A and B are shown apart, each in its own frame.
Chain A
């Protein structure tokens, strides 16, 4: 074989990769130095714009309405916009309102609305974030459209922006488009709805009838978090749902609502087929302190599933003196596993690990 071929290929590849590394290194140096230069320039220009912006914020008369734009040098657009965003994250009330007005009147909002149509997802996401931060209400409709965006990041950011705008009308749409996507989306969505507050309760109650189990689970969890006592009656029928997640969510929500009387509805779940439901029902009964369930809990202490036994032991330990006595009696339970679990929870009680 001719070594020439190998030599040429290896030389070519080495030179190509070496050149590529060199180019990357050069790009790195250039980008770093240009960033540093830009940061210096931005700092200097910001010092020039801050008094103008603060003056515009403080001036209620609108006598010289936001003449900032006239003074913006070509290229300073982003510096001013970033400063407005920074300010908006630190102020509230009147100051925030004025900053948002400046944002809209000086054309920043229109610019960001145009960016919402970009083909690059990160530009759309960034625009949505900026519009939400600056409480730009005229962006509500295009942001709602973005709930259907192909990028999850954009959908999440649009959702967050709509939440910040307090757009209650789109809660249902938000839930339907995001709750089934991922836990992360659900988590974000839950925070957004929490941000909107109790105003969303009627919508969440309406969503309990939604056919999508994911939406129902989220609505149930949120109703539990909002401590909406009125939702209790609406939640109870879902204890007979065929979906395990729904039943677990209802157990959790009812425990959060803290109404002891619902314990009677939870007791039958101790005999459910799924161990997850049995474990959650036992946990919820303990949280509610529903002492009437002690006989059934003693039976569950000998459950075949370890998690059910563990939660049952904890539930009994949470039921004060009556629960403690039940645990002591269970030390002579016919089931060895039940005896062990009773001993474990009596030990936890003695050490103060259970309140």
Chain B
């Protein structure tokens, strides 16, 4: 066998071994998740949410909504947020130097006035141009709008933290929709344990759902296949990985679209980092690292039922941009907190979670793309035995099908958010089909993200959105 042939053969074994190990990890995470979800559901049946919603002991929450050129959806989003079911909260919209009419619309609809409130810069941010509030007698009295120079999402969130009044803050994307009880549910871990620092909730795809007045009225799957595939992908990511890692006390990421944090602890680590494109993951990793260094507990929880609905890209170009950015953000966060890797001082987080994020979440697109290349070349050159090729197909594609199907069945068993049989069937079909084409496409986009990370690209990238109110 020639030198190139030997390299090709050994890379085939390496790729197969990688996929085998990865699938075993996925399986282990799934089984942990199943147990955790069932336990959560049983516990929730004995929690009295209406009791909490009326209580004065529930910790008040500041909802932070960074908004940059969100004129089309901001008013309905804010109205919906102000109608959430929670005893004490405020909504802080941070207009991050929008060039459209975001601020003007907010001022006009909510009858805001500019105040002389002092902007207390606990965390350094770009210049704040003004703080606007509604009249005390108006139904929007809990709304505060902060107008500032453009500084990015992390900067806007930091500014929101600076003006927030309450001990907990919840970051919400301006184009996302929360369920009415989601704050009640996501705040529960903070009431159960004193050492909880952050809590995340499940994010689902809103495309196809009927949405009026900022709330999801009926849950439906989108008609297009691309968002359907993403719906399955989200289910797999949230219902297995995040729940399992949270259960092991080693969750490294909370979605920026919907997560709740203890303000005092976030202030201790100086808020969000403005230099990364994945500020949500970076903050969680920094919290783990800083508190771990100080020998303090840092519990980041994830609960499956508080739902945040978000709009998924419906075009391949937008999807590419999104995945490219996510992968760059992942790389930046992991690289910045490299000392966590294999560090026994951080327990499971250092010895299992961080290596998993490096080897599986970050590097899997490289191995996957390489795998398709190597096996194709080997097949063309006649250097691959059919059993090796079949093993690759089984591990790379068929196991993916199985895991996606498992996620859908698990969702239906436990949370059951898609009431129509038609939608369930569509989800099952998507779970199979997404492994043929879609998955390879996202692997390529993520591969490009890794290249971008290596080149030091920090561009956020614009994601075009249709707006959720019209997706019905």
Q: List chain B positions with a Cβ less than 8 A from chain A.
A: 13, 16-17, 19-20, 23-24, 27, 42-43, 45-48, 51-52, 54-55, 57-59, 113, 115-118, 120, 133, 135-137, 188, 190-194, 385, 387-388, 390-391, 394-395, 398-399, 402-403, 405-406, 409-410, 412-413
Give CA–CA (A122, B46) in the complex, Å: 8
| Contact partners of B24 in chain A: CB under 8 A | 13
Taking a contact as CB atoms closer than 8 A, the residue among B135, B391, B402, B410 that contacts A352 in the complex is B135
Once the chains bind, are A183 and B59 in contact (CB under 8 Å)?
yes
A47 near B: Cβ within 8 Å?
A: no
Q: Is the CB of A7 within 8 A of B55?
A: no
Other-chain residue from A7, A183, A354, A355 in contact with B388 (beta carbon distance below 8 A) = A7
B125 to chain A, nearest CB (A): 16
Can you offer 11 A-B residue contacts whose CB atoms are under 8 A?
Answer: A6-B391, A10-B390, A10-B391, A21-B405, A24-B406, A28-B412, A184-B47, A191-B55, A221-B57, A306-B120, A353-B136
Given A10-B20, A24-B413, check contact A17 B191 (CB 8 Å).
Answer: no
A49 to B459, CA, bound (A): 68
Q: How many residues of A contact B (CB 8 A)?
A: 49
Nearest-neighbor residue (CB-CB) of B188 within chain A: A184
Interchain CB contact under 8 A, B409 and A28: yes
User: Which residue of chain A lies nearest to B402 when distances are taken between CB atoms in the complex?
Assistant: A17
With contacts A21-B409, A28-B409 known, what are 18 further pairs, Cβ within 8 A?
A1-B13, A3-B385, A3-B391, A6-B17, A10-B16, A10-B399, A11-B390, A14-B399, A153-B42, A182-B191, A183-B194, A184-B188, A344-B115, A346-B116, A347-B116, A351-B113, A351-B115, A352-B136
Interface residue ranges of A238-293 to B (CB < 8 Å): none
* C-alpha gap A25/B425 in the complex (Å): 12
Q: How far is the CB of A14 from chain B (nearest CB, A)?
A: 5
In the bound complex, do residue B402 and residue A18 qualify as a contact, i.e. CB atoms below 8 Å apart? yes
Q: In whole angstroms, how far apart are the Cα atoms of A13 and B385 in the complex?
A: 20
- List residues of chain B with CB within 8 A of the CB of A355: 136
Say how far A227's CB is from chain B's closest CB, in angstroms.
14
Q: Is A56 engaged at the interface, CB distance under 8 Å to the other chain?
A: no
B399 contact set on A, CB distance < 8 A: 10, 13-14, 17
CA distance A75 to B43 in the complex (A): 27
Complex Cα–Cα for A20 and B409 (A): 11
Residues of the A chain whose Cβ atoms lie less than 8 Å from the Cβ of B16: 6, 10
Given A3-B391, A10-B395, A344-B117: A187 and B135 interface contact (C-beta under 8 Å): no
The docked-state distance in angstroms from the alpha carbon of A120 to that of B453 is 50
Asked if A340 is at the interface (CB within 8 A of a chain B CB), the reply is yes
Q: For B413, what are the chain A residues with a Cβ–Cβ distance below 8 Å?
A: 24, 27-28
- A183 x B46 contact (CB < 8 A): no
Count of A-B contacts with CB under 8 A? Answer: 134
Query: A188 contacts B118, CB within 8 Å?
Result: no
Could you say which residues of chain B place their CB within 8 Å of the CB of A184? 47, 52, 188, 191-192
What 0/1 readout, one digit per residue, does chain A (188-214) give for beta carbons within 8 Å of chain B? 101100000000000000000000000
With both chains docked as a complex, state the minimum distance between the C-beta of A196 and any C-beta of chain B, in angstroms.
Answer: 15
Chain A residues closer than 8 Å to B46, beta-carbon distance: 122, 125, 129, 153, 156-157
| In the complex, A62 has a CB within 8 A of chain B | no
**Across the interface, which residues of B come within 8 angstroms of A13, CB to CB?**
20, 23-24, 27, 394-395, 399
A11–B394 contact, CB under 8 A? yes
Decide if B394 touches A14 in the complex (CB within 8 Å). yes
**Which residue of A is nearest B404, CB measured?**
A21
A322 to B116, CA, bound (A): 21
Distance of A94 from chain B, by nearest CB (Å):
26
A146 within 8 A of B: no
Closest-CB distance, B37 to chain A (whole angstroms): 13
CB-CB nearest in chain B for A11: B394
| Complex partner residue of A344 from B17, B43, B116, B390, CB under 8 angstroms | B116
B192 touches A183 (CB 8 A): yes
- Asked whether A220 is an interface residue with its Cβ less than 8 Å from the other chain, the reply is no
Which residues of A sit under 8 angstroms from B406, Cβ to Cβ? 17, 20-21, 24
Q: Does A343 contact B (CB under 8 A)?
A: yes
Chain A 57-92 against B: per-residue CB contact (8 Å), 1 yes, 0 no? 000000000000000000000000000000000000
- Residue A186 at the B interface, CB < 8 A? yes
Rounded to whole Å, the gap between the CB of B426 and the closest CB of chain A is: 15
The reply to whether B51 and A14 contact each other, CB–CB distance below 8 Å, is no
Q: Which residues of A contact B45 (CB under 8 A)?
A: 122
Assembly CA distance A186 to B19 (angstroms): 48
Q: Are B387 and A14 in contact (CB under 8 A)?
A: no
B23 to chain A: which residues have CB within 8 Å?
Answer: 13
Q: Are B118 and A344 in contact (CB under 8 A)?
A: yes
**Docked pose: A187 CA to B27 CA in angstroms:** 39
Chain A 321-355 per-residue mask, 1 if CB under 8 angstroms from chain B, else 0: 00000000000000001001101101110011111
**4 tightest A-B CB contacts, nearest first:** A184-B191, A3-B388, A347-B116, A7-B387
